[in-house]
Amino acid sequence: MCMSAAGGRCAADESLSLTVFPTHVSLLCFSLSVPPVIYKVSEDITINEGSNVTLTCLANGRPDPSITWRLLNPSAEALDVGEYLEISGIVRSQAGRYECKASNDVSAPDVKYVSVVVNYPPYIKEVRSSETPVGQAGVLHCEASAVPQPEFEWYRDERRLSSSQSVSIQISGSRTLLVVANVTEDDYGNYTCVATNRLGVHNASVFLYSENHTHTHTQSDTHTHTLCPLSLYLVSVLLSF
């Protein structure tokens, strides 16, 4: 109802109208892409051959990244896909550097590495005997494969040898040499190379021997000295006196 200022009624103005406009609300949805980031990876490990190993690689990103594994040496072969790499009864050929790669096509993959060292007992993979005549130096070779690196000992029959004036033992990494300085008849025979580490021991026989050789021809050294003209002049002067 409309009232006048004097308190009387007033007539409604039919010409006035109110228009209400509807309100439209639009919601915009954004798809957020996030590059892959590896936030947890296994630390480098050393383990004994035959043990079970689990390597872990966890990553964030949007969309969720795919995790792939590779053993980089020697052939960089592709392994399982997933956050966890399970290796049952690991062997020495599976030691090396493992690559974990997280990819989701938003940007370049994130890559981390895990080094795995596999311990195993010694295995003597090469020996070389020596055919040496009396009076010469005889050299016996022995090479072993092992992790940790092996220690070496040499034996003649049941007697352990040590470096002396007549025998020298040389060790360099996974190789050892037994050098007999001046071979006599008593030095010929069987020698034993022994390789050890905390996981085991391995030995192999090496021989120092001689065969009789018949020398049908001996050639002596001939040394020819050429005198220069000045030397000839000095000789002639000396002879004149």
Of the listed ranges 25-39, 41-55, 203-217, the least confidently predicted one is: 203-217
Q: Is residue 116 domain-shared with residue 138, that is, in the same domain?
A: no
The answer as to whether 214 is a domain residue is no
The answer as to whether 146 is a domain residue is yes
> 117 pLDDT exceeds 70?
yes
Q: What is the per-residue pLDDT for 75?
A: 75
- CA–CA separation, 115 and 98 (whole Å): 6
Domain end, chosen from 76, 102, 120, is at 120
The answer as to whether 195 is a domain residue is yes
Q: For residues 234 and 160, which has the higher predicted lDDT (pLDDT)?
A: 160
Grouping H, G, I as helix, E, B as strand and the rest as coil, residue 84 is strand
Q: What is the per-residue pLDDT for 191?
A: 97
Q: What is the per-residue pLDDT for 76?
A: 77
Q: What is the per-residue pLDDT for 78?
A: 84
- CA–CA separation, 10 and 37 (whole Å): 76
Cα 221 to Cα 76, 200, 215, 218, 224: the distances in Å are 58, 53, 16, 10, 10
Q: Using an 8 Å Cβ cutoff, are 192 and 203 in contact?
A: yes
The answer as to whether 233 is a domain residue is no
Q: What is the per-residue pLDDT for 79?
A: 87
The answer as to whether 53 is a domain residue is yes
**Structure confidence at residue 24 as a pLDDT band (50, 70, 90):** low
- CA–CA separation, 165 and 109 (whole Å): 62
- CA–CA separation, 135 and 63 (whole Å): 78
> 132 pLDDT exceeds 60?
yes
**Structure confidence at residue 31 as a pLDDT band (50, 70, 90):** low
**Domain total of the chain:** 2
φ, ψ (nearest 5 deg) of residue 79: -115, -150
> 118 pLDDT exceeds 90?
yes
The answer as to whether 234 is a domain residue is no
pLDDT more than 90, % of the chain: 68
- Mean pLDDT over residues 180-193, rounded? 95
> 105 pLDDT exceeds 90?
no
Q: What is the per-residue pLDDT for 16?
A: 46
Q: What is the per-residue pLDDT for 30?
A: 56
Domain end, chosen from 103, 120, 137, is at 120
CATH code: domain of residue 55: 2.60.40.10
| Domain span holding position 104 | 34-120
Closest of 201, 199, 142 to residue 173, by C-alpha: 142
- Mean pLDDT over residues 39-67, rounded? 96
> 232 pLDDT exceeds 50?
no
Q: What is the per-residue pLDDT for 9?
A: 52
Helix ranges (H only) for the chain are: 229-240
Q: Is residue 82 domain-shared with residue 157, that is, in the same domain?
A: no
The answer as to whether 9 is a domain residue is no
- List the structure tokens of 37: 């980031």
pTM: 0.70
